[in-house]
C-alpha cells in the first residue's frame, strides 16, 4: 500500500500546484490588478509601493486557493487514474476505494492545517501592512492608533446593567494614555462613584488617574468632591491593547485576537453575530480543503469520468461557485441571527461533507 499511496500522491502534487497557480492568476487578473491600477492612476502611487502591495496581498489570496487547488488536483488525479483503468486494476488487486482516497484526504488535511497557520500568523500582519500603506498615501499620514470619543460600557452578567461607564475624549493605543476621562462606577445597577480626570495612564498594576476629582454618589446624600493629583485605580476596565482592538479591522486580527475582540464587545453589551461568523470561518474555510478532497475523490473515481485539466478546471469552478453561494447564504443568515453563527459559518461544509459521504458510499458499492 505504501507504493500505491506514493503513486497516487505523485499524481496529486502536479495538478495541485497547477491549481494554486491558476486560481491565484484568476484572483490577480480579476481583482488585484484593477485595484493596483486604480491606485497608480488616481493616487500616483510609485511602482515600488505597488510591488509591495502586490506581495502583501498574496498571502490572503493563496490561502483561498488551497481548497480550490485541492479540489482540482483530486478531480484531475483520480479522473486520470480512472480513465486509464488503473483504479479498476487496483480494485481488482484487492485495494478498496476507502484506501484509494486516503492520499487525497491527507493532502486536504495538510492544506487545511497549513491554511489555518497562515491565517493565524501571516495573513493578519500582511493585511495590516497593506491597509497601512493605503492609508498613508490616501491621507498623507501614518495609520493612527488614536481613538476619539471612546465609550466603554461593560454589562454586569448578574444584574444585566452597566458595570461601569467610561468616556474619554482621546485614547492613544501605543502610549496607553487617555485624555479627558470620565469614569462612573456602578454597584448592582446603581451609580456609586464618579471619577473625573485630565488624563489616565496604564501601569502594570492598573490605571492611574491624574489631576481630577472623585465624587461619591449616595442616594439622599451630598458628599463633597475629593480632589487628587494622582489616583491609583485597580484594573476596573480593560488594558490598552484590549481597547485598541476596538479600532482594528477584523481582517487584521488573528484567531485569538478576534476571539478576545468578541469577548470585549460582548462585555460592552454589543452584538457580535457577524464577528462570531467570521471567527468560525477562520476554521471552516481552510477546512474546505479536506471537505473538497472527500467530495472530489468519488467524482474522479466514478467510471466514465472524462480526464484532463480543462475538464477538471471547469468542474472545479462549478463546485466552487455552488460552495460560494452556500457560504454567502450561511454568512447572511448567521450575521442576522436567523441561525446560529457557527452554523452560518459551517453550513456549506456540512452540506458538502454529507454529499461527499454519499458519493463515496455509492462508489464503494
Name the range with the highest mean pLDDT among 133-142, 261-270, 324-333: 324-333
What pLDDT does residue 242 have? 67
Confidence of residue 235 (pLDDT cuts 50, 70, 90): low
Distance CA 82, CA 305 (A): 7
- Residue 217's DSSP bridge partners are 222
More confident residue, 251 or 332: 332
What pLDDT does residue 314 have? 81
3-class state of residue 278 by DSSP: helix
The whole-number average pLDDT for the span 105-121 is: 94
Name the range with the highest mean pLDDT among 137-141, 236-240, 307-311: 137-141
Distance CA 91, CA 81 (A): 12
Q: Which three cell numbers stand for residue 182?
A: 470620565
Q: For the whole model, what pTM was predicted?
A: 0.75
Residues of the chain with CATH 2.60.450: 147-267
Q: Which three cell numbers stand for residue 114?
A: 497549513
Cβ atoms of residues 356 and 294 within 8 Å: yes
| For residue 111, pLDDT beyond 80 | yes
How far separated are the first and last CA of the chain, in Å rounded?
Answer: 21
| For residue 87, pLDDT beyond 60 | yes
Q: How many angstroms from the chain centroid is the CA of residue 183?
A: 34
More confident residue, 258 or 142: 258
Spatial neighbors of 313 by CB under 8 A, at least 6 apart, are 19, 22, 72
pLDDT tens-place string over residues 205-215:
778 899 999 88
pLDDT tens-place string over residues 72-81:
999 999 988 8
Fold of 147-267: lipopolysaccharide transport protein A fold (2.60.450)
Residue percentage of the chain with pLDDT more than 90: 43
Select from 324, 327, 331 the least CA-distant residue to 276.
Answer: 331
Cβ atoms of residues 295 and 355 within 8 Å: yes
C-alpha angle with apex 262: 256 to 267, nearest 5 degrees?
A: 130
Across all residues in the chain, what is the average pLDDT?
A: 85
pLDDT tens-place string over residues 237-296:
667 766 766 666 788 888 887 887 787 677 666 788 999 999 999 999 999 999 999 999
How do beta strands 177-187 and 190-203 pair?
A: antiparallel
Distance CA 255, CA 166 (A): 27
Which H or E run includes 364? helix 341-364
- Which own/partner pairs from 47-52 qualify as long-range (CB within 8 Å, at least 24 positions apart)? 49/133, 49/137, 52/133
| For residue 177, pLDDT beyond 90 | no
Amino acid at each position: 500500500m505504501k507504493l500505491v499511496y506514493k503513486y497516487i500522491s505523485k499524481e496529486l502534487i502536479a495538478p495541485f500546484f497547477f491549481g494554486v497557480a491558476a486560481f491565484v492568476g484568476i484572483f490577480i487578473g480579476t481583482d488585484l490588478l484593477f485595484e493596483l491600477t486604480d491606485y497608480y492612476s488616481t493616487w500616483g502611487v510609485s511602482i515600488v509601493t505597488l510591488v509591495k502591495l502586490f506581495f502583501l496581498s498574496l498571502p490572503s489570496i493563496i490561502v483561498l486557493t488551497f481548497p480550490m487547488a485541492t479540489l482540482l488536483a483530486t478531480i484531475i488525479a483520480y479522473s486520470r487514474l480512472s480513465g486509464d483503468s488503473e483504479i479498476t486494476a487496483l480494485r481488482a488487486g484487492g485495494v478498496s476505494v476507502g484506501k484509494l482516497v486516503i492520499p487525497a484526504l491527507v493532502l486536504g488535511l495538510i492544506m487545511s492545517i497549513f491554511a489555518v497557520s497562515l491565517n493565524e500568523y501571516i495573513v493578519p500582519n500582511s493585511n495590516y501592512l497593506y491597509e497601512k500603506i493605503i492609508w498613508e498615501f490616501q491621507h498623507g499620514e501614518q495609520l493612527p492608533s488614536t481613538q476619539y470619543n471612546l465609550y466603554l460600557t461593560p454589562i454586569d452578567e448578574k444584574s444585566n446593567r452597566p458595570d461601569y461607564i467610561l468616556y474619554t475624549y482621546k485614547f492613544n493605543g501605543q502610549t496607553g494614555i487617555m485624555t479627558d476621562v470620565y469614569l462612573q462606577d456602578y454597584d448592582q445597577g446603581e451609580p456609586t462613584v464618579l471619577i473625573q480626570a485630565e488624563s489616565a495612564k496604564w501601569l502594570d498594576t492598573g490605571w492611574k488617574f491624574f489631576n481630577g476629582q472623585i465624587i461619591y454618589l449616595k442616594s439622599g446624600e451630598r458628599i463633597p468632591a475629593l480632589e487628587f493629583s494622582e489616583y491609583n485605580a485597580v484594573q476596573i476596565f480593560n488594558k490598552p491593547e484590549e481597547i485598541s482592538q476596538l479600532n482594528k479591522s477584523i481582517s487584521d486580527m488573528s484567531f485569538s485576537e478576534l476571539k478576545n475582540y468578541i469577548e470585549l464587545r460582548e462585555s460592552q453589551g454589543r452584538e457580535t453575530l457577524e464577528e462570531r461568523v467570521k471567527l468560525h470561518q477562520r476554521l471552516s474555510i481552510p477546512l474546505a480543503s479536506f471537505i473538497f478532497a472527500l467530495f472530489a475523490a468519488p467524482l474522479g473515481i466514478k467510471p466514465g469520468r472524462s480526464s484532463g485539466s480543462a475538464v477538471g478546471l471547469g468542474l472545479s469552478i462549478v463546485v466552487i461557485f455552488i460552495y460560494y453561494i452556500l457560504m454567502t447564504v450561511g454568512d447572511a443568515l448567521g450575521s442576522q441571527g436567523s441561525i446560529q453563527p457557527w452554523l452560518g459559518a459551517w453550513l456549506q461544509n456540512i452540506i458538502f461533507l454529507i454529499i461527499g459521504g454519499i458519493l463515496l458510499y455509492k462508489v464503494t458499492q
